[in-house]
A and B are shown apart, each in its own frame.
Chain A
Amino acid sequence: MRTALVKVGGIVGAAVIATSVVAGCGSSDDGTIKIGAIAGLTGNFITEEVVKTAKRVFDDVNDAGGINGKKIDFIVKDDAGNPQRTAQVARELADDDVVAMAASGSFTDCDVNDAFYRQQKISSIMAVGASAKCFQSPTIAPVNVGPFTLITAELLFASQTLKNDKICNFTVVLPGSEEAVNNALAQWEKISGKKLAVSDTTVQQSGDLTPYLLRAKQAGCDAILFNPGEQLVVPFLKAAQTQGMTDVDFLLMAPAYTESVAKAVGDLGLKVYAGSEFEPFTADSDANKGWKDAVTRAGAPATAFSQGGYLAAVFLVDVLKSIKGDITRESVNEALRTMRPISNPMVGTPFTFGPGDRHAPNQASKMVELKDGKWVPLGDFITVPTSS
């Protein structure tokens, strides 16, 4: 029995080694640079505009002659928001010999594939990093601020710009991100020297939200940070209006910064702000010109997610252009490790990958305010001082 097991194990082991050797040697010789991305093209949460915009950027590079005469082959895989699919498509992309991942917009990608990317030595410039893992991996660098640094930035906005005194926090904490949320809150306390009047990180996604507002009312909060997405923000603000909380500043996160939220809660007469992560997508500014042009020609909806897709693609193209000689996984990794930070007017801090064992290059967000059913950009980037 035991020997049989050893035999089987040996065969399986040999097969694994064989396939990985084949995969390692079978580098693409068809004259293209293969870049992979995973996004939700179907399923509950669709991020198609992310990869569509990135594809436009790569197509533009190809139309202009490619990189050192080689065309970029952008391979997009749909994971339908399903973790099993996320794992499967990452393996398919690795088998396709992608040299790097760029502009992924999958919410399960980091948690599912981090270890696989490390093992395969594939670097990923993510368009939308949403889980804590995205900001704690040596192989992943998201271009967006992310839901943790954004908490710190928004609290700084409340304490410094709005001069709020009693700031309260109501957050839904997803599994695995508790530590990151607590760190973000602690960092604000360290920078501002203040304490939160109420901090509730046990907010439930089901049921009525009024009890949380009653707590805030009792504690006399003058600013409330609320992190969930659109579906929960709308009933939350409606309940706040019912309870007459018109003099409180409501701070929402980037997922709530959408046209449909503006339409749904614009007429409630509440003071609502949201973090935009990038140059606000509703702003008609010079900073947004390149992205606006790309997203329009891509025929994709102009959202904050599509900004992430645009930036991830633009940054990777810059890095690829800096590579002398063959573009392989190794040379891309090396170029990312040694790259010079790239500035872009759409982000508050330059993008860099570098040799670190975790990456969170974007440390600044702008804020938008809800006025007459429209999101209006407010002031300059709020940069979170880097923790030493």
Chain B
Amino acid sequence: MLQLSAAIAGLVTGGAYALMGLSTLLTYRLVSVVNFAQAAVGAFGAFAMVVLYEGGLPLVLAVPAGMAVGALLHCGLGAIMVRWFSESGEGVKAAVTIAIYTGLVAVGLRLFGAQHPHRFPSPFDAPALTLGGVVVTWTAIVTMVLAVLFAAAPAVLLKRTRVGLLLRAQAERPTTAELIGIRVPRLSMIVWGIAGAASALAIMIIAPQLASDFGSQAALITPALAAVLIGAFRSFPITLLGGLALGVLQGLASTWQAVQQFRGVLPFVVILVVLVWTRRGDRWDEPA
């Protein structure tokens, strides 16, 4: 019984992981950057929102303002990528985002304080239903719906629309796409902006449930990347499932005495297992 309750509680965290994972996957699929700074950018937007909200701005204005901050910041990151690293390999781009992640965390801690918690508004805090002895809030349901939306929308966009086709072209062969007349820089800027706003929104919803300091929020990138890895950096629906599964796994682990204390490192274990499994055919001494 406790296992079931813990698993259901884990589903909520899993929704959060999935949301962050899907934003990261969106960036990867559309501009081919493994963005380690994705959650940090989202946290920046979310904290901008909370500071404005605490300053007296109504929530309906603070949320779009926070998303705009996330979008702008992500555009800035995108500009760096497009300007200087568009021809670089994925490894180099990822390394740049790691550097930016470190910088953003330092600046974020300084700007938003690490000591005292901000009061993240949680408008969907009311209990929605009781499931297996766990009270599930509307926040959980909103998270879940949003996660499904994040998973479905890009998949449909990429497969079914002309914009999707252009986006895929510029993600896979940026130079070729530019040569045939696609305005790659402008298109990528839009993508960076949307992904930034989406992660800001994701963090705003997740934030009240987790340790409410900038560092912890930015560190959501670890479970998010684990989820994306389960989806093999391709599939939106599998990333969604991966995020949920990771949350459930963490929930279950908390009821199991022997592994309880390793709950925090579970995302890394998942990353390791997935990497070993997907690379099982490789040999060290053979060229890839």
Contact = CB atoms under 8 A, between A and B. Distances in A.
A45 B1 CA distance: 40
B14 to A, nearest CB: 9
A264 B119 contact: yes
Contacts, number: 99
B224 to A, nearest CB: 13
A19 interface: no
A206 B267 CA distance: 11
Contacts of A217: 133
A212 B264 CA distance: 14
B2 A214 contact: yes
Interface in B136-151: 137
B218 to A, nearest CB: 12
Contact of A204 (B125, B255, B263): B263
A243 B255 contact: no
Interface in A220-249: 230-235, 238-239, 242-244
Nearest to B219: A206
Contacts of B264: 204-207
A264 B117 CA distance: 8
B116 interface: yes
Nearest to A260: B116
Contacts of A45: 114-115
A330 interface: no
B212 A231 contact: yes
Contacts of A214: 2, 5-6, 9, 133-134
Interface string B249-275: 011001100001101100000000000
B242 to A, nearest CB: 16
Contact of A205 (B134, B211, B255, B260): B211
Interface in A195-221: 200, 202, 204-208, 210-212, 214-215, 217-218
A208 B216 contact: no
Contacts of A218: 1-2, 5, 133
A214 B264 CA distance: 18
The secondary-structure label for the interface of chain A is: helix
Size bracket of the A interface: 20 to 34
Interface in A233-285: 233-235, 238-239, 242-244, 258, 260-261, 263-264
Interface string A2-24: 00000000000000000000000
Contacts of B109: 44
B10 interface: yes
B27 to A, nearest CB: 23
B209 A235 contact: yes
Given A206-B216, A235-B211, A215 B261 contact: no
Contacts of A339: none
A320 interface: no
B165 interface: no
A206 B114 contact: no
Size bracket of the B interface: 35 or more
Given A46-B115, A215-B255, A242-B125, A208 B211 contact: no
B211 A263 contact: no
Interface in B86-130: 109, 114-117, 119, 122, 125, 127
Interface string B188-212: 0000000000000000000011111
B1, B109, B251, B254: residue with the most chain A Cβ atoms closer than 10 Å: B254
Contacts of B133: 214, 217-218
Contacts of B210: 206-208, 235
Contact of B114 (A44, A200, A202, A258): A44
A46 B114 CA distance: 9
A272 B24 CA distance: 39
Contact of B119 (A207, A258, A263): A263
Contacts of A238: 122, 125, 208-209
A200, A211, A261: residue with the most chain B Cβ atoms closer than 10 Å: A211
Contacts of A233: 117
Contacts of B254: 211-212, 215
A240 to B, nearest CB: 10
A210 B9 contact: yes
B136 to A, nearest CB: 9
Contacts of B115: 44-46, 230
Contacts of A231: 114, 117, 211-213, 216
Nearest to B253: A211
Interface string B136-180: 010000000000000000000000000000000000000000000
Contacts of B255: 211, 215
A27 B130 CA distance: 71
A260 B9 contact: no
A44 B109 CA distance: 7
A45 to B, nearest CB: 6
Contacts of B239: none
A244 B127 CA distance: 10
A267 to B, nearest CB: 10
B125, B210, B251, B255: residue with the most chain A Cβ atoms closer than 10 Å: B210
5 contacts: A44-B114, A208-B247, A211-B10, A214-B5, A264-B117
Nearest 10 pairs of A and B residues by beta carbon: A202-B261, A211-B254, A208-B13, A260-B116, A210-B9, A204-B264, A44-B114, A231-B213, A202-B260, A211-B6
Given A207-B13, A208-B10, A235-B212, 15 more contacts: A45-B114, A46-B115, A202-B263, A208-B13, A208-B250, A211-B254, A214-B6, A215-B2, A218-B5, A218-B133, A231-B211, A231-B212, A242-B125, A242-B127, A264-B117
Interface of B: 1-2, 5-6, 9-10, 12-13, 109, 114-117, 119, 122, 125, 127, 133-135, 137, 208-213, 215-216, 219, 247, 250-251, 254-255, 260-261, 263-264
Interface of A: 44-46, 200, 202, 204-208, 210-212, 214-215, 217-218, 230-235, 238-239, 242-244, 258, 260-261, 263-264
